[in-house]
Structure 1
Amino acid sequence: MNMIKNFFLIVLFGFLKHFKKLFYTIFLDRLFLASSYFLRKSMMSVAIEKIGFSSREEAIQLAKSEGFFFRDGAMETGDIEDIHWHKTGLHIYVLSGLFETFDAARDELLIARGGDLIKIPKNTLHAARCPIPATYVVGFESEKAAKGFQPELPEDLP
């Protein structure tokens, strides 16, 4: 009788041990999915505002009024900037063409045209491409940021 009892206890404990692993695996998986969803929703993300400025001079005035330092930029048809981030926030005042920005945190493609303002907070993973040539003015948070500006690799994001 003891052998049957011991056998039953061994099977029961084995089942409970397996069930416990399965429960924790499912629980932790669901917890990770929920936390990553809320993390993505709470992160600063790329935004496009339909401002409607019509010239480089207006874009520069807007940048200056917001305390930004500016420099001109351009991308040709098909130019692509892979996923990257910046140590400083920046504003892109699109003068002409089409400027596509992929917000990696939200898995969303945003499209800006002439007169639109793209706001990219610091430490925001994103990519950019222009299906047709685009010209723009970039506003930087500081003069130092404007001079030393460079894209950072995704794996270096703090």
Structure 2
Amino acid sequence: MLHAVEIAAGLLAVLALTALVTFVAVTFTRRRLIAHGADVVVCGLRPDSASRWRIGLLRLSSDSLQWYPMLGLTPKTSQTWVRRSIDLGTPQPLEPDTTLSAVIDKVLRVPVRGTTPEGEDVPAELGLSPAPYTTLRAWVEACPPSGWPVQA
């Protein structure tokens, strides 16, 4: 009987290790697919100030700003704004007791408004640390005027 328990415990340990390795491999591969050819930073997103923060990855491509949930199986974007339509509000320091503060240091709450590729107006708030915020601000302001092609 003791031998069967040892075998079962060994099998459970192997299954747990396999699941952990698979999770890490899928997460790493997904992150590489999302980041391919663009800058990516850890960022919080919430549709309005009454909603909870969701942690994810913010990707700055040549013509759009894309937000991906941190965990997931597919590299599918959850929110996309067209670069030329993005309007960033004034950043405000976020209270240090939020769940976002545990993941991002010195979080700034940044109001953002823009249109989706389908033309829908989408306001939201982003939670960024100061350095990625500066990068995002420069990226938005460096967008060529409407009608000029964007070359990546």
TM-score (norm 1): 0.34
Higher relative contact order, structure no. (Cα contacts within 8 Å, ≥ 6 residues apart) = 1
Larger Rg: 1
TM-score (norm 2): 0.35
Q: Determine which structure has the larger strand proportion and give its number.
A: 1
